[in-house]
Amino acid sequence: MKSYDGCWTCRLRKKRCDEIRPVCRNCSALQITCHFGEEKPSWMDGGLGQKEKAEEVKREVRSAAARRRGALPNEVLEPIAAGLATGGLNRQSTSIPFRGEPTPDSSPGWTSTHTPPGTEPASSTARQDSWNRPDGLSISNLSDGKLGDSELDRRFMMFYFDHFFPFLFPFYKPPLLEGGRSWIIELVVGNQAMWHTTLCLSTYFVSVALDGAISGHKVCKTAAWEKVLNQMGVTFMMLQRNLQDIASSDTQDLIVKTSRIMGSIVQLQRFEISAGNFENCRKHLSAAIALFRKIFQAAENDIGRDELPTFSGVLSHMGRPLWAITSQPSGAWSSDQAAFRFYSALLIVDDIIASTCMEEPPRLLEYHARLLTNSGSPDGRPPLNLEDFMGCENWVMLQIGEISALEAWKKSAKKSGQLDMMELVARASAIKQTLLENLARLDAEANTPETNPLGLFTLYNDQLPPMPGGCTAFVTRVWAHAAVLYLSIMVSGWQPGSAGVRENVVRILELLEQMPAPELLRTMVWPFCIVGCLAEPGEESRFRAMADALVPHQLFRPARKALEIMENVWKCRDELTIDTDFAACVCSLGYMSLLV
């Protein structure tokens, strides 16, 4: 039935609207734009404009439906999150039929940098065969002389290595003396789930690149999107098989195989976010965290003592580095070690950012000291330097995690009537002091020239735009000011007009408008969102301009999602109370958006 009082989207679609604002249930369920407003939109003209808008909404519905099909099924995710600690998964509980399921003989198995006892090491010929053979990961028929699926897959894969991976992770430039990024090829070629997930990413990226670039692009995009959906189905099947495989593994095999599955899920998460699907973030994150814990539990069981395994101890279970250099704190990581470091860093960041809108501490908080601080390390380096992976120094992410944990404590204590404001202020003051001291250090070092002790070996790292103090210092400064804003909201409530909030909003806006390249914003989506939510009406256009500068928009879905959240907040700015928090803003769309 038509709705005369609901949103304009439902009226256009001639559907009954429940009139929930800012997003009605119809639009929320379909993941489409919900148009509210007292004034009739110009396209509701009863003629050509309305007809064109109706077609646009239909395309949006179809696109969202395709994205939703990319969700990792509950049958895969829930056993991971709930049952991994028991030591294995029931084969029947995770078995889902897939059409065209490849046989085990038609796909390469696991490859590893270590050799299990009693087996011969894998030859380079076997690994080369898994890369080249047309009957390997995808079956092709070249008898007609046309480009086969296998060759096409390899081209998509190289497109990912050459273009999409550097685009997604511009700060990840490991030195050649640590092995560089060769582990990506090693892992993808030897891991079926990772192969298909990577194909999903690359195919999506190619489909966007083709959009409007050549004639007949709609056919190309349709074919590319069908390939994405096909690869997603195979990915789910491979993840199930891999989960079943780890149940009977010894400690070393268990750690290596579990880390690969964890990496596949983290990468799957990044694909869905890149494609604009945020509704499965919690499930993917829970699954990856459960696997991460299982890895440390396996290492702890192997130690057999009452001490917690270190990160380096877990890495040692994956084999030995390829080589070691006396003058360097670490050698060249094996492919499994490098992959685990990379995906662990992403997972730590994802967990911290997710905790800011889930009203609970980071679930990996207990690992922060072991992974993100030097913990008495003789070389003074933490096991993971997040600035090497996402451009932000560890101390900022540590403090955001602490603020999130303090907010969860505050809400729990307030609910039980036991909130001690003096304790809250004391703990918050310590966090603020850490943030301000480090910000002062960054400001003092802003004009310090960067040194390059390895010369030629790090030349290829200089791909980020040059700026005073370096890009990581710039990104870290933006994140730190956003952390101060987050802390202020947590302690004092939603007060966008207060002097402290305004000072940091103005400072972050100034920094963001000094970016040497608009694309750098994709590494600062969470700060972009929190400062935007606190912006004044006169500043809204500046945030829209920054988001609009990211083209094509399909490659910057998290930034577009952040803008969508801001605009929701701006619409109901006068209705927000002091009890409003950042979590409520992020979840105003009806689900948690992981802004990474």
Report which of 68, 67, 89, 70 is spatially closest to residue 78, judged by C-alpha positions.
Answer: 89
pLDDT at 560: 93
Residue 543 vs residues 87, 194, 511, 531, 538: alpha-carbon distances, Å? 48, 36, 12, 9, 10
Q: What is the pTM of this model?
A: 0.74
* Residue-by-residue DSSP string for 402-458: HHHHHHHHHHHHHHTT---HHHHHHHHHHHHHHHHHHHHHHHHTTTPPPP-TTGGGG
Backbone phi and psi for residue 361, each to the nearest 5 degrees, phi listed first: -65, 165
The 10s digit of each residue's pLDDT in 31-69 is 788 888 778 888 888 888 898 899 888 888 876 665 554
Strand partners, 332: 323
Helix and strand counts by DSSP (H, E) for the chain: 24, 0
* Residue 323 β-bridge partners: 332
Residue 83 pLDDT: 42
> Is residue 594 within 8 Å of residue 353, measured between CB atoms?
yes
pLDDT of residue 115: 35
Is the CB of residue 288 less than 8 Å from the CB of residue 269?
Answer: yes
Which residues, given as ranges, of the chain have pLDDT below 70? 1-4, 63-149, 210-252, 303-307, 321-331, 375-379, 447-469
Question: ∠ at Cα 310 (252, 349), nearest 5°?
Answer: 100
For the beta carbon of residue 545, count every other beta carbon within 10 angstroms.
Answer: 11
